[in-house]
Homo-oligomer: A and B are copies of this chain.
Amino acid sequence: MNALDHILNADSVAIIGASRDETKRGYQAIVTLKKSGFEGGIYPVNPRERRILGLRCYASVEEILEPVDLALITTPAHTVPSLLTACGLKGISGAVIIAGGFGEMGGRGKRLEREIIETASAHGVRLVGPNTSGIINVESGLNLVGIPDVPGGDIALLTQSGNIALHLITEAKLRSHKGFSYYIGVGNESDIHFDEYLEFFKNDEKTRAILMYVEGLRDGRTFLQQVYKTSREKPIILLKSGRSSTGQKSAGSHTGALAGISEVARTSFERAGIIYIEHPDQLFPVAETLSSLPPIKNKQVAILADGGGHATIASDLLTDLGVEIPTLSEATQARLQKILPHNAAVSNPVDVAGGTDSDPEIFARCARILLEDPSIGGLLIAGLFGGYAIRFSESLKFIEEDAAHQMGKLVRSSGKPIILQSLYNSVKPHSLELLRYYGIPVYESLDIATTCIGQLSRYGQYLSTYEHKTNFQFNWGEKARPKGADIIHNAQEEGRRYLFEHEAKEILRIHGAPVSQEQLAKTADDAVEMAREIDGSVVLKIVSPDILHKTDAGGVRLNLENEDQIRHAFHRIIDNAREYKPRAVIKGCLVTSMKKKGVEVIIGTKVDRQFGPVVMFGIGGILVEVVHDVSFRVLPISQTAATAMIDEIKSAPILNGFRGSPALDKNALSELLLIVSEVIESYPEIEEMDLNPVMVHDHGIDIADARIILKKETEAASQNP
């Protein structure tokens, strides 16, 4: 039994700060536990009371003679450290801390939060919160939140906002047959982080889907690793707020966590298999759908409607979501035409054109024909179904119910999902309740119904490409080569926080990148000698620890064709450098070949504060700097991810052979991205790497310039295993 088991499946709970005042959490908690049918021990703790709600009240946890699994602490922040000590001494292994006033308030609050973490750790107490609304185990009745009547079910709910949880629970009660296995208000995540909860739910048999509202993450990479392990077995539906700067400010004051979603976060979430949601209206319905229905395997969906308007709008919305609405096969169209009026549309979307007005059972027959078409992976039914008895004739009620039974069984037998949009949903006709009984979600909103189909399709796509994904594991130093390490250590010994261009390129070469021969010439004679080994014209560049911007210092000479030019250029560069920075230490000049012109791309890496090392790719110049047409990935990356990074920028067609020019060597480019990934993983000392530009040709690539910046040595050391 692990720590979270002790907390979430606690048999006994102490209510520290228990109260007789009806407005206090210490009162409400006891009432809610009783109402929720919790059969374990409830131990109110308050030195000023003797009995509360018929239960004996203890002056302190030590006084309780029976063993206690869990403490709910409802007292103010400053009382928490000593209470945790008492809990530890009593052998309580988990505490849920309601009070705010910790990290989210900054300054003194942060110090107090550190203190409770240390105290809890010293006494073997694991913490939920602080600044949490509490936790609920719906089945056992362990309800420490004060939200009564939480519907039971197979969705685990993890949030950083009590009101959002209340919102989702209310929505479930009003609009669905589904409910929750657990609720956890994670609060400030001071001890137990999102990933540990995810691991618990991954292994929990009662849970089929995980619904999350997140404002900030403490450790993005560990989170991604756990998501990656979990999302294949159970869909994770997540809304992350704090995307805007005002939202970030608001989230920061709310949970004190690192906020701010970047492109990095979004792509990494999706890569780890998260169903990423931006609109709160979609959050519960998508969880309901994904916990009830099989995912769509082939992105291809049929629309069945009893009105042109709904069919047309649904087509637009599904297309926006990347779902395909293929024209049906001739055989399928013929089968539909047999049971529908001549003016019906049968190609997809299917519009029954009044053909169901007197017999809504035809919906079920159409649904069967559509799902039997092998090109169709799922079905959206839109319009009035469920309301035929209301709109046309009471006698149609039983026909609609029969159709609902047929469609429910069809989902089970075909393994393909149906989602229904009905204008009559809020009237709650029995036919729609029947559909829900079979796990077919019904929505009044076409926006929501199409979103749910879209997410079933995305999740299906994720699962079908799963094997190619990376697991977000980063093995610092494992692939390092001694020669590469030497280069870095040498620079550090010289007191440099960066590598010279030729050193950076040498590291890339050691890891297999196509780097042309580059040598450091200390004299003009050296340069001439080295140039003999180079095909074509030659470039000289200054090498000095004191000159970073070589061009500004007059330190670069291109297109040198012969001995005289090389000798002359060498002297000019040295002179220019001395003039630019008289005290500069000058190592000499780098002798290299003139690179062929090609499409210039940029590859850069940095360390993201939430997710660790990430890599960026874009096409050089305006496209990166003005249009911001770039792609990001959390490192390390796989071959698939490298290819996707290249293909997903808008300007990718330039690399595919633009205006009749030949296609460029994207293979060599994706290999370079993989090498960059390996280099970053090899040397934890690297803070940033920039390859700018890399010239891409129709055969091969040239790294025209490379820059590596090192971390302060203390930072690097802390990341070594």
| Chain A residues within CB distance 8 Å of chain B | 23, 100-101, 105, 159-164, 166-167, 170, 174, 213, 215, 239, 241-247, 249-251, 253-255, 278-281, 306-313, 315-320, 325, 343, 345, 347-349, 351, 357-358, 383-384, 392-393, 423, 426, 445-448, 622-623, 625-627, 629, 650-651, 653-654, 658-659
- Neighbouring B residues of A347 by C-beta, 8 Å: 249
Q: How far is the CA of A225 from the CA of B423 in the complex (A)?
A: 35
Q: How far is the CA of A629 from the CA of B281 in the complex (A)?
A: 32
- Neighbouring B residues of A311 by C-beta, 8 Å: 250, 254
Partner of A351, one of B243, B253, B384, B651: B253
Partner of A281, one of B174, B247, B445: B445
19 sample A-B contacts, Cβ–Cβ < 8 Å, listed by A number:
A23-B393, A105-B343, A162-B309, A163-B308, A163-B384, A241-B309, A242-B312, A243-B320, A244-B318, A244-B319, A245-B319, A246-B349, A247-B319, A250-B315, A250-B345, A253-B351, A281-B447, A623-B627, A626-B650
Q: How far is the CA of A280 from the CA of B316 in the complex (A)?
A: 11
Please give the count of copies of this chain that the complex contains: 2
Q: How far is the CA of A312 from the CA of B251 in the complex (A)?
A: 6
Beyond A164-B310, A626-B651, A627-B629, 19 additional contacts (C-beta under 8 Å) are: A23-B393, A101-B343, A161-B308, A161-B309, A163-B384, A242-B312, A243-B319, A243-B320, A245-B319, A246-B348, A247-B316, A249-B347, A250-B312, A250-B349, A251-B312, A254-B309, A279-B317, A280-B446, A625-B659
Q: Is the CB of B281 within 8 A of A448?
A: yes
Nearest 4 CB-CB pairs, A to B? A161-B309, A254-B308, A163-B307, A244-B319
Nearest-CB residue, chain B, relative to A320: B244
Partner of A241, one of B159, B316, B383: B316
Q: Is the CB of B163 within 8 A of A423?
A: yes
Nearest-CB residue, chain B, relative to A164: B309
- Neighbouring B residues of A281 by C-beta, 8 Å: 281, 445-448
Q: Is the CB of B163 within 8 A of A313?
A: no
Q: How far is the CA of A163 from the CA of B385 in the complex (A)?
A: 12
Q: How far is the CB of A601 from chain B (nearest CB, A)?
A: 13
Q: How far is the CB of A119 from chain B (nearest CB, A)?
A: 23
Q: How far is the CB of A224 from chain B (nearest CB, A)?
A: 22
Contact A654:B309 (CB < 8 A) given known A281-B281, A315-B244: no
Q: Is the CB of A215 within 8 A of B384?
A: no
Q: How far is the CA of A137 from the CA of B309 in the complex (A)?
A: 22
Q: Is the CB of A253 within 8 A of B308?
A: yes
Partner of A246, one of B100, B174, B315: B315
- Neighbouring B residues of A307 by C-beta, 8 Å: 161-164
Q: How far is the CA of A653 from the CA of B626 in the complex (A)?
A: 7
Q: How far is the CA of A166 from the CA of B384 in the complex (A)?
A: 10
Q: Is the CB of B309 within 8 A of A159?
A: yes
Nearest-CB residue, chain B, relative to A319: B244
Q: How far is the CA of A160 from the CA of B308 in the complex (A)?
A: 9
Nearest-CB residue, chain B, relative to A240: B316
Q: How far is the CB of A262 from chain B (nearest CB, A)?
A: 14
Q: How far is the CA of A244 from the CA of B325 in the complex (A)?
A: 11
Q: How far is the CA of A647 from the CA of B185 in the complex (A)?
A: 46
Partner of A658, one of B247, B308, B626: B626
- Neighbouring B residues of A651 by C-beta, 8 Å: 622, 626-627
- Neighbouring B residues of A279 by C-beta, 8 Å: 317, 447
Q: How far is the CB of A159 from chain B (nearest CB, A)?
A: 7
- Neighbouring B residues of A161 by C-beta, 8 Å: 307-310, 312
- Neighbouring B residues of A250 by C-beta, 8 Å: 308, 311-312, 315, 345, 349, 351
Partner of A447, one of B249, B280, B317: B280
Nearest-CB residue, chain B, relative to A169: B423
Q: Is the CB of A309 within 8 A of B447?
A: no
- Neighbouring B residues of A393 by C-beta, 8 Å: 23
Q: How far is the CB of A169 from chain B (nearest CB, A)?
A: 10
- Neighbouring B residues of A446 by C-beta, 8 Å: 280-281
Q: How far is the CB of A75 from chain B (nearest CB, A)?
A: 16
Q: How far is the CB of A330 from chain B (nearest CB, A)?
A: 17
- Neighbouring B residues of A320 by C-beta, 8 Å: 243-244
Q: How far is the CB of A316 from chain B (nearest CB, A)?
A: 4
Nearest-CB residue, chain B, relative to A244: B319
Nearest-CB residue, chain B, relative to A627: B650
Contact A239:B313 (CB < 8 A) given known A253-B351, A307-B162, A445-B280: yes
Q: Is the CB of B626 within 8 A of A345?
A: no
Q: How far is the CB of A610 from chain B (nearest CB, A)?
A: 17
